[in-house]
């Protein structure tokens, strides 16, 4: 058995115990897929990022939820690079990261803000009934039909696919009581990681949107603050011309308030990039069983 450094980094916030917690293994070389999945299950946050060497980029990142590997994760990338910068391993500047969707650009500002340029946007309109989606989310169907005339239901991706659901008012989004089995059925049918309802009726005066994200099929009942979701919704808003005037320089997505983990994602378009701060809140070690053993991990 080997001992590895293990961290929890709260991303899309500069306050501890807010934003979205990510597991980070800053030196994961030598771990098998099975061991990484075991670690992610043990850490039990929505995603854990494993930092690995790369022949194609400055770093390789792999991301695991408690139940499966995912191709890209915004908050775990922000957490991993934010920690490396906070720890003095890297300076502010530009880097590349190899992911399952390809090699992407990462930039770190002097204040520690990490920007991840995402994959090529894809948006496709889909036609589940509003009644079905409303029932799955536990909202009044009228709260979806109000905005559906201008912004349709669609699956959008900048590396990870989400079913995007515009909602008219924050009250309805905040009171959503999802049927997780029905949500999972929707994501399975439309080949999406999660359902991402959002509204322009935000809490903060400087926020563009308020969002939530449910991905029970990936072992994430509700993700506090979702970077790839923010990238997807930014691409979606650009695709459908959601702003009457010029597209804003930044879309600010607030999320996490209804799970007591408030955070903010900054998103830009052309190319789509998401950014945010992070703070390391837990720094320790984890004993990982040998690959052929079936043991419980010890913290």
Statement to judge: residues 228 and 250 lie in one domain? yes
Residue 59 has pLDDT above 90, yes or no: yes
Task: Identify each DSSP E strand in the chain by its residue range.
Answer: 2-11, 20-25, 47-52, 59-64, 69-70, 93-99, 102-108, 114-117, 122-125, 154-157, 161-166, 194-199, 209-211, 213-215, 220-223, 251-255, 263-268, 273-276, 278-288
Statement to judge: residues 129 and 84 lie in one domain? no
Statement to judge: residues 107 and 19 lie in one domain? yes
293 assigned to some structural domain:
no
Task: Report the CATH number at residue 155.
Answer: 3.10.310.10
Statement to judge: residues 142 and 235 lie in one domain? yes
Residue 231 has pLDDT above 80, yes or no: yes
- Residue 45 is part of which domain span? 2-118+278-288
Statement to judge: residues 128 and 254 lie in one domain? yes
pLDDT of residue 131: 97
Q: What is the average pLDDT across 76-96?
A: 97
Confidence band for 43, pLDDT divided at 50, 70 and 90: very high
Predicted TM-score (pTM) of the model is 0.94
Statement to judge: residues 147 and 248 lie in one domain? yes
296 assigned to some structural domain:
no
Give catalytic residues, as residue numbers: 47
What pLDDT, in 10s, does the model give residues 94-142? Answer: 999 999 999 999 999 999 999 999 999 999 999 999 999 999 999 999 9
What pLDDT, in 10s, does the model give residues 257-272? Answer: 999 999 999 999 999 9
Statement to judge: residues 99 and 201 lie in one domain? no
pLDDT of residue 69: 98
96 assigned to some structural domain:
yes
Tell me how many domains the chain contains.
2
298 assigned to some structural domain:
no
Bridge partners of 112, per DSSP, are none
49 assigned to some structural domain:
yes
**Percent of the chain scored above 90 by pLDDT?**
94
pLDDT of residue 149: 80
pLDDT of residue 68: 97
């Amino acid at each position: 058995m080997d001992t590895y450094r293990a961290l929890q980094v709260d991303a899309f916030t500069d306050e501890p115990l807010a934003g979205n917690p990510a597991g980070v293994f800053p030196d994961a070389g030598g771990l098998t897929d099975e061991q990484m999945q075991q670690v992610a299950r043990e850490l039990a946050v929505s995603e854990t990022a494993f930092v690995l060497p790369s022949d194609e980029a400055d770093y390789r990142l792999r991301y695991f939820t408690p139940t499966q590997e995912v191709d890209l994760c915004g908050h775990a990338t922000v957490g991993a690079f934010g920690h490396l910068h906070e720890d003095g391993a890297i300076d502010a500047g530009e880097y590349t990261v190899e992911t399952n969707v390809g090699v992407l650009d990462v930039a770190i500002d002097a204040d520690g803000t990490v920007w991840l340029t995402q994959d090529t946007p894809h948006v496709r309109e889909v036609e589940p009934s509003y009644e079905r989606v409303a029932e799955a989310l536990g909202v009044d169907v009228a709260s979806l039909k109000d905005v559906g005339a201008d912004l349709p239901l669609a699956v959008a991706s900048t590396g990870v696919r989400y079913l995007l659901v515009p909602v008219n008012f924050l009250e309805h989004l905040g009171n959503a009581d999802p049927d997780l089995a029905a949500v999972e059925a929707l994501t399975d049918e439309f080949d999406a990681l999660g359902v991402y309802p959002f509204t322009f009726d935000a809490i903060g005066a400087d926020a563009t949107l308020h969002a939530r994200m449910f991905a029970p099929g990936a072992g994430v009942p509700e993700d506090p603050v979702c970077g790839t979701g923010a990238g997807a919704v930014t691409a979606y808003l650009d695709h459908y011309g959601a702003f009457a005037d010029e597209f804003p320089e930044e879309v600010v997505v607030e999320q996490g308030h209804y799970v007591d983990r408030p955070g903010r994602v900054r998103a830009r378009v052309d190319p789509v990039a998401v950014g945010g701060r992070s703070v390391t809140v837990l720094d320790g070690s984890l004993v990982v069983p040998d690959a052929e053993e079936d043991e419980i991990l010890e913290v």
